[in-house]
Amino acid sequence: MSSENLHAPRERLSESTLNLHFAIVSLMEELDAIDWYRQRADDTEEETLKELLLHNMREEMEHASMLLEWIRRHDSDFERFLKTYLFTEGSILQAEKAATAEGLGGGQPARSRGGAEKGFTIGSLRDA
């Protein structure tokens, strides 16, 4: 499988990192497609075309969801955050505070299932 978006020499990346990269890039493409279809649906006055574009948009949502599930199954850090935030009610920021207090949201990341030791993190996106 090829990709033009690698940021390190391919031979230095683990198989797990490469597979996660392929899934992440594919998820980005699906999310772009969702955005494009929704905008085009908004922009057309032709009702049949609008419905077709919205139908296609929903199919891209299915594809994105399938990819996200694959990522969850192959990256335990991602899985941990998805478990913390998805399908919750109430304040997302309060969920983060609760997770951080429980030691789930910060500090040392849990070890990934698939050799994330060759990966990197950008760091906390929280305010200092």
The size of the interface with Fe ion (CB under 5 A), counted in residues, is 3
User: Closest CB to Fe ion among 63 and 72?
Assistant: 63
Residues 7-46 that bind Fe ion (CB under 5 A): 30
Whether the CB-CB separation of 82 and 72 falls below 8 Å is answered with: yes
Radius of gyration of the chain, Cα coordinates, nearest whole angstrom: 18
User: Residue 9 Cβ, how far from Fe ion at the closest point, in Å?
Assistant: 30
Instruction: Please tell me the distance from the alpha carbon of residue 77 to that of residue 114, in angstroms, as a whole number.
Output: 11
Region binding Fe ion by CB under 5 A among candidate stretches 15-23, 34-42, 58-66, 114-122: 58-66
Do residues 104 and 80 lie in contact, with contact meaning Cβ atoms separated by under 8 Å?
Answer: yes
List residues near Fe ion by CB under 5 A. 30, 60, 63
